[in-house]
């Protein structure tokens, strides 16, 4: 039966996440925006609590650890950890995107591990805070052309190369690194490796200064003859040229809805405050009157809210499909594309509508408008999502539609 | 199980599909009317674009009251789970309607557009599918025992994938039967609904729009005063055929409400009002001068009617927008320029991607509104958002559909120009359809 409401069994959990966002993240939002690179100590206590939530069953913490696909969801309709994860991330990012990204043990690397690790690896890396390292100075969206290499040497691999834009790269316990086993074999040779912090040959070189999400550290990490056990390779070590990129890319089907959820959350924060400020200025939004009979600000708000609703539901759909074991690459990319561009547009328009109140640091509106930009870039830019959607709809390969 | 055999037991929402299928199978299959492979089609009543006539007068509705109280459909009981799967019966209904849309509506679309009319056989056959029964309670001869707005949404979407104009023509009587079952008193239900559940469904229309800029359905100029209606209604589907009209009008200083009007009254005049699109729906102006009318439902019911009608238009836009996507996809893959398919260019491919992304968003937002309406939850916000989205993105999809075909999109050899004209209706129309 078609129903797009928050599942009854997640309501208490979602409310819990909202309380955390309101009472813990929001009050610290401006502080860590101004004090870039200061460690948000408040999060340690919170992380312990989130771990507790995750262990308690239905809830799956702030989300990133909980995206493993159920082995069989054949019997009935499942509302599982993918859905609860996006719902909780929406609430947390209504609080603060940068702080969510700094939540210990909830990194995107954790999602990668949860998505493709073997059961043995899952146990071994349990409780590890894992960042994700894909991008290099010479390659961003074109992740197939990474230059970081992994050389088999006995029962370990030697990693060499430089990774940039590693979210939580300074604070995490380990990094999931993409490296190629053999550059001549293209995408199929790209594998991901879990590299624990402190491994000799791994250096955090610098932390970036950014437009937004300043509470979250973004690191450059260098690998020089960095030796990791062969058992830290996630997925199959075989180079299957027929399968291509599928192995490592599978992670994205799970993480893109999470990033879409971040966008949905921050956009809602902007809209709620804007609506409040507009009401104070005498502008109320009417859902029944034609928009053209309402103030332009109300009409503009309605247009934003309509796009927001689409982004919100596309995100839930992608997560729901994952919960139910259905292939969701197309829907994950649709959600990420729509949510990324919508959140950026909404947060920027809210600044315009609220004028000096929005642009100054009195409120968080200007911060949200800076935070939102990255959400249309990382985990695949807007343009990459459109490429993926287009290839799927048109039945084109990446060689045909480039 | 046939309707005759079925006497006891509760048919849940879910019985809808079976009941519809049964009607179809029992009565007449699509082939019987010979619509599937029609080789030649007369242009029906081409002169209609210029008529002016009195209201249709064919049957008389006999006032009756056989129930002590009006029959009311309870809200559908939700499962509490997030779920995008239609019920099995909804899937079956949609399958039948989709086939009808593909094999009957789509092939007839161009001619119906030119003729400014839908072939009466097509309308008759759509009536046999039971389209006007989807919201009528079982104890009044319909087929449901609880609200089924979501089924209405799915059916409208499937119909409009065939052709929006004919879909509106076929669904117009259902708007009236739905309004009467949702809001009519026991006398109104007993008087009018039997006609809609019988073998020959009357033409009927729900008329809200009035001809002026910035039209607002909550500020009407058509007035009801001492039992009589005076005013003008615009873009009414099949107005000339309609035997029964549901008219929105202002009641004194109290607010707008719905009124039932039998169109054979001499104070009713119908004028053709052909428009940019929806031409197969034979859009008309309805002029009312001192016409006796009884109120249908409350002021709150009127607000619900406006919302459910907007929801119906959103659902229709989904079908037509999907038709655009389905049409342009093979086109851009086969059309070549500069030595390769034009779909190998990002500027083309990204337009298709955005059609897909926005359409999926429109669909989900519309479904949420429909599902909330069906479950008895407040849905004004969700309908407003669906309308905004389907108006803006639906039109964008319409214009991109033409753009992707270039000059070929501008000529009538391809249907995209019709879909462009039809999709402009979504933000304009009020009334006409109801889910």
* Boundary residue ending a domain (B169, B201, B233): B201
Q: In chain B, which residues have their Cβ closer than 8 Å to the Cβ of A339? A: none
Secondary structure string (H, E, C) spanning chain A:
CCECCCCHHHHHHHHHHHHHHHHHHHHHHHHHHHCCCCCCCHHHHHHHHHHHHHHCCCCECECHHHCCCCCCCCCCCCCCHHHHHHHHHHHHHHHCHHHHHCCCCCCHHHHHHHHHCCHHHHHHCCCCCEEEECCECCECCCHHHCCCEEEEECCEEEEEEEEEEEECCCCCCEEEEEEECCHHHHHHHEEEEEEECCCCCEEEEEECCCCCCCCCCEEEEEEEEEEEEHHHEECCCCCCCCCCCHHHHHHHHHHHHHHHHHHHHHHHHHHHHHHHHHHHCCCCCCCCCCHHHCCHHHHHHHHHHHHHHHHHHHHHHHHHHHHCCCCCHHHHHHHHHHHHHHHHHHHHHHHHHHHHHHHCCCCCHHHHHHHHHHHCCCCCCHHHHHHHHHHHHHCCCCCCCC
For residue B200, the model assigns a pLDDT of: 86
For residue B384, the model assigns a pLDDT of: 98
CA atoms within 13 A on the CB side of B323: 30
Residue of A nearest to B378 (CA): A287
Residue contact B303–A394, C-beta within 8 A: no
Residue of B nearest to A400 (CA): B344
Q: Does A281 touch chain B (CB under 8 A)?
A: no
Task: Say how many domains are in chain B.
Answer: 2
Give domain A128-234's CATH number out of 3.20.20.60, 2.40.50.100, 2.40.110.10, 3.60.20.30.
Answer: 2.40.110.10
Q: In chain B, which residues have their Cβ closer than 8 Å to the Cβ of A304? A: none
Q: Give the closest-approach CA distance of A75 to chain B in angstroms.
A: 14
Q: In chain A, which residues have their Cβ closer than 8 Å to the Cβ of B307? A: 288
Q: Does A356 touch chain B (CB under 8 A)?
A: no
CATH architecture of the domain with residue range A246-394 = Up-down Bundle (1.20)
Q: Is A91 a catalytic residue?
A: no
- Measured CA to CA in angstroms, residue B153 lies from A119, B88, B313, B317, B358 at distances of 44, 15, 9, 10, 18
Distance CA A62, CA A91 (A): 9
Helix H or strand E segment including B364: helix B346-374
Q: Would you say B108 and B119 are in contact if contact means Cβ atoms under 8 Å apart?
A: yes
Regarding whether B177 and B40 lie in a shared domain, the answer is yes
- CATH fold for domain A8-123: Butyryl-Coa Dehydrogenase, subunit A; domain 1 (1.10.540)
Q: Kindly report, as residue ranges, where domains of CATH 1.20.140.10 are found in chain A.
A: 246-394
Distance CA A182, CA A149 (A): 7
Q: Kindly report, as residue ranges, where domains of CATH 1.10.540.10 are found in chain A.
A: 8-123
Helix H or strand E segment including B192: helix B186-197
When pLDDT is averaged across residues A137-151 and rounded to a whole number, the result is 92
- Domain of B318, CATH number, reads 1.20.140.10
For residue A190, the model assigns a pLDDT of: 92
> Looking at the predicted structure, is the pLDDT value of residue A54 above 60?
no
Residue contact B82–A8, C-beta within 8 A: no
> Does B268 fall in a domain?
no
Residue contact B343–A401, C-beta within 8 A: yes
- Model pTM? 0.92
- Measured CA to CA in angstroms, residue A213 lies from A29, A56, A261, A351, B265 at distances of 10, 30, 15, 17, 69
Tokens 């809602």 — which residue?
A268
For residue A144, the model assigns a pLDDT of: 83
Residue of A nearest to B357 (CA): A334
Distance CA A359, CA A375 (A): 20
For residue B40, the model assigns a pLDDT of: 33
Residue contact B371–A307, C-beta within 8 A: no
For residue B105, the enclosing domain spans 15-47+85-201
Q: Does A313 touch chain B (CB under 8 A)?
A: yes
> Looking at the predicted structure, is the pLDDT value of residue A60 above 70?
no
Regarding whether B163 and B30 lie in a shared domain, the answer is yes
pLDDT in tens, chain B (435 residues): 344 444 444 455 445 555 665 555 554 444 444 554 433 333 333 333 456 777 775 677 877 766 778 999 999 988 899 999 999 989 999 999 999 999 999 999 999 999 999 999 999 999 988 888 888 888 888 888 899 999 999 999 999 999 999 999 999 999 999 999 999 999 999 999 999 988 789 999 999 999 999 999 999 999 999 999 999 999 999 999 999 999 999 999 999 999 999 999 999 999 999 999 999 999 999 999 999 999 999 999 999 999 999 999 999 999 999 999 999 999 999 999 999 999 999 999 999 999 999 999 999 999 999 999 999 999 999 999 999 999 999 999 999 999 999 999 999 999 999 999 999 999 999 999 999
Q: Give the closest-approach CA distance of B420 to chain A in angstroms.
A: 21
- CA dihedral (A272, A275, A280, A285) in degrees, to 10, reads -140
- CA dihedral (B121, B123, B128, B129) in degrees, to 10, reads 120
> Does B401 fall in a domain?
yes
- Measured CA to CA in angstroms, residue B92 lies from B84, B96, B167 at distances of 16, 6, 19
Look up residue A253 and give its two tokens.
């089907």
Where is average pLDDT lowest: A53-57, A116-120, B37-41?
B37-41
Distance CA A343, CA A351 (A): 12
Of A4, A289, A391, the CB nearest to B216: A289
State in Å, rounded, how far the first CA of chain A is from the last one. 39
Q: In chain B, which residues have their Cβ closer than 8 Å to the Cβ of A79? A: 81-82
> Does B152 fall in a domain?
yes
For residue A62, the model assigns a pLDDT of: 43
Q: Would you say B160 and B191 are in contact if contact means Cβ atoms under 8 Å apart?
A: no
Summarize pLDDT for A275-328 with one digit per residue, the tens.
999 999 999 999 999 999 999 999 999 999 999 999 999 999 999 999 999 999
Q: Does A354 touch chain B (CB under 8 A)?
A: no
Helix H or strand E segment including B245: strand B244-251
CB pairs under 8 A between A and B: 166
Q: Would you say B169 and B118 are in contact if contact means Cβ atoms under 8 Å apart?
A: yes
> Looking at the predicted structure, is the pLDDT value of residue A253 above 90?
no
Indicate the average pLDDT of chain A: 91
Summarize pLDDT for A61-104 with one digit per residue, the tens.
444 444 555 554 445 899 999 999 999 999 999 999 999 999 99
Best mutation target, A390, A398, A400, to test chain B (most B CBs within 10 A): A390
Q: Does A303 touch chain B (CB under 8 A)?
A: yes
Residue contact B218–A313, C-beta within 8 A: no
- Domain of B162, CATH number, reads 1.10.540.10
- pLDDT top residue among A241 and A31: A31
Q: Does A282 touch chain B (CB under 8 A)?
A: no
> Does B245 fall in a domain?
no
Which of the following is catalytic: A91, A136, A162, A379? A379
Q: In chain A, which residues have their Cβ closer than 8 Å to the Cβ of B329? A: 393-394
* Boundary residue ending a domain (B164, B180, B201): B201
- Measured CA to CA in angstroms, residue A220 lies from A10, A108, A168, B390 at distances of 38, 16, 10, 44
């Amino acid at each position: 039966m078609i129903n797009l409401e928050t599942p009854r069994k997640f309501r208490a959990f979602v409310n819990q996440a909202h309380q955390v966002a309101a009472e813990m993240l929001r009050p610290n939002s401006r502080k860590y925006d101004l004090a870039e690179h200061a460690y948000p100590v408040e999060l340690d206590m919170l992380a312990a609590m989130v771990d507790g939530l995750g262990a308690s069953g239905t809830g799956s913490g702030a989300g990133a650890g909980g995206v493993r696909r159920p082995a069989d969801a054949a019997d009935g309709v499942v509302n599982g950890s993918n859905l609860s994860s996006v719902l909780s991330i929406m609430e947390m990012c209504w609080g603060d995107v940068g702080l969510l990204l700094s939540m210990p043990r909830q990194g995107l690397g954790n999602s990668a591990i949860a998505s493709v690790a073997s059961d043995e690896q899952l146990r071994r890396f349990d409780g590890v805070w894992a960042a994700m390292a894909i991008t290099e100075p010479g390659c961003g969206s074109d992740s197939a052309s990474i230059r970081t290499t992994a050389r088999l040497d006995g029962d370990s691999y030697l990693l060499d190369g430089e990774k940039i834009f590693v979210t939580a790269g300074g604070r995490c316990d380990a990094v999931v690194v993409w490296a190629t086993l053999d550059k001549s074999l293209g995408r199929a040779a790209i594998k991901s490796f879990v590299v624990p912090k402190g491994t000799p040959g791994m250096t955090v070189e610098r932390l970036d200064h950014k437009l937004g999400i300043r509470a979250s550290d973004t690191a450059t990490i260098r690998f020089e003859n960095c030796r990791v056990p062969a058992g830290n390779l996630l997925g199959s070590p075989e180079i299957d040229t027929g399968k291509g990129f599928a192995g490592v890319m599978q992670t994205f089907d799970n993480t893109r809805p999470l990033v879409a959820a971040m966008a949905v959350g921050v956009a809602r924060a902007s809209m709620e405050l804007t609506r409040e400020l507009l009401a104070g200025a005498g502008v109320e939004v009417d859902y029944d009157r034609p928009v053209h009979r309402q103030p332009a600000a109300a009409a503009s708000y309605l247009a934003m809210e309509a796009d927001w609703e689409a982004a919100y539901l596309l995100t839930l759909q992608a997560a729901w499909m994952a919960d139910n074991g259905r292939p969701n690459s197309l829907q994950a990319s649709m959600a990420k594309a729509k949510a990324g561009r919508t959140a950026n547009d909404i947060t920027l328009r809210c600044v315009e509508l609220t004028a000096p109140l929005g642009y100054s640091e009195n409120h968080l509106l200007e911060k949200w408008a800076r935070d939102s930009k990255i959400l249309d870039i990382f985990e695949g830019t807007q343009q990459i999502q459109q490429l993926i959607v287009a290839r799927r709809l048109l039945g084109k390969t990446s060689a045909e539609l480039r | 199980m046939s309707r005759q055999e079925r006497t006891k037991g509760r048919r849940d929402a879910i019985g809808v599909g079976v009941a519809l299928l049964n009607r179809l199978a029992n009565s007449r299959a699509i082939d019987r009317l010979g619509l599937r492979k029609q080789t030649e089609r007369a242009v029906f009543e081409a002169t209609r674009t210029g008529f002016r006539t009195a209201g249709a007068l064919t049957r008389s509705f006999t006032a009756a009251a056989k129930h002590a109280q009006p029959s009311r459909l309870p809200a559908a009981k939700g499962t509490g789970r997030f779920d995008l799967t239609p019920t099995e019966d909804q899937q079956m209904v949609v399958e039948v309607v989709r086939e009808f849309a593909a094999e009957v509506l789509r092939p007839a679309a161009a001619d119906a557009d030119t003729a400014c009319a839908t072939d009466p056989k097509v309308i008759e056959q759509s009536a046999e599918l039971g389209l006007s029964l989807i919201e009528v309670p079982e104890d009044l001869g319909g087929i449901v025992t609880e609200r089924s707005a979501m089924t209405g949404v799915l059916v409208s979407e499937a119909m409009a994938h065939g052709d929006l104009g004919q879909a509106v023509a076929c669904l117009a009587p259902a708007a009236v039967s739905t309004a009467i079952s949702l809001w009519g008193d026991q006398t109104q239900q007993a008087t009018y609904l039997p006609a809609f559940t019988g073998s020959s469904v009357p033409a009927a229309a729900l008329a809200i729009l009035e001809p002026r800029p910035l039209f607002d359905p909550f500020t009407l100029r058509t007035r009801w005063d001492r039992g009589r209606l005076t005013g003008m209604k615009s873009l009414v589907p099949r107005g000339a055929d309609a035997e029964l009209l549901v008219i929105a009008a202002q009641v004194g200083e109290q607010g707008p409400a719905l009124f039932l009007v039998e169109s054979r009254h001499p104070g009713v005049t119908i004028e053709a009002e052909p428009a940019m699109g929806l031409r197969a729906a034979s859009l008309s102006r309805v002029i009312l001068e001192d016409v006796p009318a009884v109120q249908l439902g409350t002021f709150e019911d009127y607000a619900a009617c406006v919302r459910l009608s907007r929801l119906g238009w959103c659902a229709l836009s989904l079908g037509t927008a999907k038709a655009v996507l389905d049409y342009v996809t093979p086109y851009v893959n086969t059309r070549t320029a500069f030595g390769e398919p034009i779909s190998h260019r990002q500027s083309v491919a990204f337009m298709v991607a955005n059609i897909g992304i926005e359409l999926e968003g429109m669909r989900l937002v519309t479904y949420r509104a429909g599902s909330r309406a069906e479950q008895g939850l407040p849905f004004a916000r969700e309908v407003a958002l669906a309308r905004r989205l389907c108006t803006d993105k639906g039109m964008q999809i319409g214009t991109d559909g033409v753009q992707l075909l270039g000059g070929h999109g501008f000529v009538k050899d391809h249907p995209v120009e019709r879909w462009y004209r039809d999709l402009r209706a979504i933000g304009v129309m009020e009334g006409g359809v109801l889910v």
